[in-house]
Amino acid sequence: MGLCYTQNVNFIEVRDLKIEFTKIDENGAEVPGKVALNGVSLDIEKGSFVAVVGMNGSGKSTLAKCFNGLLIPTAGSVKVDGFDTADDSTIWEVRSRVGMVFQNPDNQLVSSIVEDDVAFGPENLGVDPAEIRRRVDDALKRVGMYEKKDRGAHMLSGGQKQRVAIAGAIAMRPDCIVFDEPTAMLDPKGREGVMSIIKDLNAGGITCILITHFMNEAEQADRVIVLKKGKLLCDRTPAELFSDREMIERAGLEMPPAIDIRDKAGLPESLTTADEIAEYIAAV
């Protein structure tokens, strides 16, 4: 079992979380269906960068949707900054604090013009127009899309569309952004660009939660949560997780390519990222 990651200020608290989906039987009655998460407990520290990994069907995306109240617990609880996601009276307090960016950028864009899309969220919150202008410009600059603010969304590449989707989340001024496999539909260059933005946002104080199946992305986080069949398998730093091949095999995951190169080349195990390994090789 993985070592518990020491927390200082918990922004999200998950306790004994169970998510069970219902289905309709042959008589048209609603009956219990698949249990997607069962007994998951974890804390996420404010300002941290956490990756959540696991095989398909492990419950990663289900957990992501619990962080901002898109899914309500069947049992247990999820609290965001002290607000219970199951409390209808404070659900907008939760959603104002936790933004979401999903896998398919085409499904997230609601306007035909880039800057209009980024303004959509703040406009719906009734933010003052002058403040919306500031937020839109700031968000587009942070993702490197300011020069394309007047561009039609249909003219953008997949990676550029995902940047606009992230800008839309930034414009809402959340404390936390959950990225649910945001690079899954992008090419390597697009993935690299999105990861750079995520790290910059985290460096600026935003809590970032990354759902991913790319282990080279997970290794860039402060901490990696591993799910398997709806349960928490382990919770470790990247260095701890990727030095444990037995755990990686139990989880049905693969080692990051850089770690495989390190081990096959007999390099020190203290090297845990691609940058560290490249620097070590260049120096010898």
Can you tell me the distance from the alpha carbon of 61 to that of 27, in angstroms, rounded to the nearest whole number?
30
Determine the structural domain holding residue 126 and report its residue range.
46-73+81-253
Tell me: do 260 and 249 sit in the same domain.
Answer: no
pLDDT, tens digit (0-9, with 9 covering 90-100), for 144-174: 999 999 999 889 999 999 999 999 999 999 9
pLDDT, tens digit (0-9, with 9 covering 90-100), for 5-30: 444 579 999 999 999 998 887 777 77
Cα angle 216, 221, 222; round to 5: 145
pLDDT for res 3: 42
pLDDT for res 234: 96
Q: Domain containing 115 — which CATH number? A: 3.40.50.300
Q: What is the mean pLDDT of residues 130-142?
A: 96
Confidence of residue 102 (pLDDT cuts 50, 70, 90): very high
Tell me: do 227 and 109 sit in the same domain.
Answer: yes
Can you tell me the distance from the alpha carbon of 213 to that of 271, in angstroms, rounded to the nearest whole number?
22
Tell me: do 164 and 142 sit in the same domain.
Answer: yes
Phi, psi of 158 (to 5 degrees): -60, -45
Tell me: do 227 and 263 sit in the same domain.
Answer: no
Tell me: do 213 and 272 sit in the same domain.
Answer: no
pLDDT, tens digit (0-9, with 9 covering 90-100), for 47-63: 999 999 999 999 999 99
Indicate whether 222 belongs to any domain.
yes
Cα angle 108, 111, 114; round to 5: 90
What's the DSSP call for residue 112? Answer: S
pTM: 0.89
CA nearest neighbour of 253 among 6, 51, 40, 18:
51
pLDDT for res 174: 95
Tell me: do 116 and 227 sit in the same domain.
Answer: yes
Phi, psi of 120 (to 5 degrees): -55, -50
Tell me: do 197 and 90 sit in the same domain.
Answer: yes
Counting every residue written for the chain, the total comes to 284
